[in-house]
Amino acid sequence: MKKLLRIKNYSKFRDFQLHNTDWDGTLKKINLIYAPNGSGKTSISLLFESLKGNNDLILKKKNLFSEKSPEIILLDDDNKQIKFANESWNMTIDFIEVFNSFYLENNVYIISPTIYDKTSINNLFNLEKIEIQNYKNEIKDLKRKEEEARLGITLNQRRLKEAKLEEIEDRYYVNNLKAELARGKKISTAMLMKISEILVKKASDAFTEELEQYKNSINKYLRKFSNDLLIKSIRIVFNGDLKIRHLMYDIVINGKVVQISDRNEVSLKYYLSEGDKNALSLSFFFAKFEILKNSNEFIVVVDDPFTSFDSHRKMVTIKELVNLSESIKQLFILTHDIHFTNDFISFSRKEKDVLTLQISQEKGDSIFKNINVKTELLTGLMRDIMIMHNFIRNGSKDILDRIHIARCIRPTLEGLFRIKFYNQIKSTDWLGNFIEYIRDADEGSLFYRLKTNLGSLEDVNDYSKRFHHSDSPFESDTVSEGELKYFVQQTLELIQAI
């Protein structure tokens, strides 16, 4: 599968300087980017959106008070640079769709494509239809007639003004000018009304079948999110050149129809809950890809799609994102919720097609690094055990990694003792105390069965306690990979024995 982008350098964009750690930069079919606390997530979302040609998004997001333009370099599969420099991209990418908070806000009252959304709109509605071309010619003719009428109006107004100034008393001449002026105004009004009728009704009627299909598709998704919302009708609003400005809809809320004409009395912005607004926007978004003829060409970026959602709506969102990923070229999901990330991976049908990255802070920079979400969700005892198992399988990366692994040994053993011998120990006991209990145990003690493991426990304790003192020399000295592996293996065997 061809990957569109690999991030090479990402500098001077807000306080965001991204580079790669433990990741070769190759993207997959599905790319989950976890941003704890949301740090950097919106920046990436806007970066993708700007690639459609909106350079201002990058410029607005740059460092506060920064005098220089941001510089961004992305690489495609052929290592060709997609570069933002001198306040613009050196190329644009048409087939990108972004769902973020701005999309949500823009779709409360209307289904609103941006000016950089031309590609998908042209695919949703074939603006080269014969009817539309005929309407374009008709509008062109009407505009010509209206312009001629306006010219006549201007000319006759000037002549009437001159006649008044010159006190011309030829009533026939003056009345004829007034009649021509009235006739011109009537023609101008009629032409404008005909143009308006085409823009408001006739041109939209040319897409009755497509609009019905889109409406049904939206409602299919809405029913999954809510029993209280339904789109009743949709129409297209065109500009004077028969290009689509946006789509307007009538909506049924709890059985009551809210029409376009009702919007002054019923404020959807305040009447609808945040969850309902998000359900509407996501339904518009998902439905679009269902009827696009070239959906497989699109890169889709979704930024925290479950705002204000309960658990049911979150699960629906996950399932529909998984379905969407199978019909498009590439999917990016940006989220601050690691549980959502984990649920998505669990529901994805091909985990091998999913890349999971985390945006982390390191020495003042933001970095991309590979993460194992299931490991990240583990806490305390289970996390330490997983870390040690991974070390036995894969080894360590560096001395800091080995120190971190060594520090998992004692807490793991102490945690297991506290679980297993809950009623026989004190909360202030540590591994050394547990070893004493085993050493002093008689046959009636629950600790007695571990006497055969006493030597191993003492060795592991002596090794591991050195990593839990503030004055430990092991922060700077070399920690042997082989020695660490031996004691980690001993610890894992003790876990089985305890």
Distance, CA of 346 to chain centre: 19
pLDDT: which is higher, 320 or 83: 320
State the average pLDDT over residues 171-176: 89
State the average pLDDT over residues 146-174: 90
Cβ atoms of residues 195 and 242 within 8 Å: no
Question: Could you count the other beta carbons within 10 Å of the beta carbon of residue 327?
Answer: 14
Cβ atoms of residues 255 and 317 within 8 Å: no
CATH code linked to domain 1-95+295-377:
3.40.50
State the average pLDDT over residues 487-491: 96
Q: Which of 107-116, 338-347, 455-464 has the lowest mean pLDDT?
A: 107-116
pLDDT tier, 421 (very low <50, low <70, confident <90, very high otherwise): very high
| pLDDT at residue 265, rounded to an integer | 61
**Who contacts 84 (Cβ-Cβ below 8 Å, separation ≥6)?**
50, 55, 58, 70, 71, 72, 73, 90
Q: What is the pLDDT of residues 386-410, one digit of tens each?
A: 899 999 999 998 888 899 899 999 9
Query: Rounded to an integer, what distance in angstroms lies between the CA atom of residue 233 and that of residue 266?
Result: 17
Enumerate long-range contacts of 270-278, CB under 8 Å, 24 or more apart: 272/108, 273/308, 274/307, 274/308, 275/307, 275/308, 275/309, 275/310, 275/313, 276/226, 276/228, 276/229, 277/104, 277/108, 277/308, 278/104, 278/305, 278/306, 278/307, 278/308, 278/309, 278/313
Query: Rounded to an integer, what distance in angstroms lies between the CA atom of residue 421 and that of residue 382?
Result: 18
Query: Rounded to an integer, what distance in angstroms lies between the CA atom of residue 390 and that of residue 408?
Result: 12
Judged against a pLDDT cut of 80, whether residue 158 lies above it is answered with: yes
Cβ atoms of residues 135 and 198 within 8 Å: yes
Q: What percent of the chain has pLDDT over 90?
A: 44
| pLDDT at residue 80, rounded to an integer | 82
On average, the pLDDT of the chain sits at 85
Q: What is the pLDDT of residues 223-276, one digit of tens each?
A: 999 889 999 999 998 988 898 888 889 999 888 888 866 766 666 777 788 888
What does 433-480 look like in DSSP terms, one character per residue? HHHHHHHH--TTSTTGGGGGGHHHHHHHHHHHGGGGSTT-GGGTSPPP
Indicate the domain borders of the chain.
Answer: 1-95+295-377, 130-206, 208-293, 378-497
Q: What is the pLDDT of residues 2-40, one digit of tens each?
A: 455 566 555 555 545 666 667 777 888 899 999 887 667
pLDDT tier, 193 (very low <50, low <70, confident <90, very high otherwise): very high
Tokens of 496: 């089985």
pTM recorded for the entire structure: 0.75
pLDDT tier, 45 (very low <50, low <70, confident <90, very high otherwise): confident
Q: What is the pLDDT of residues 466-484, one digit of tens each?
A: 887 544 544 445 789 999 9
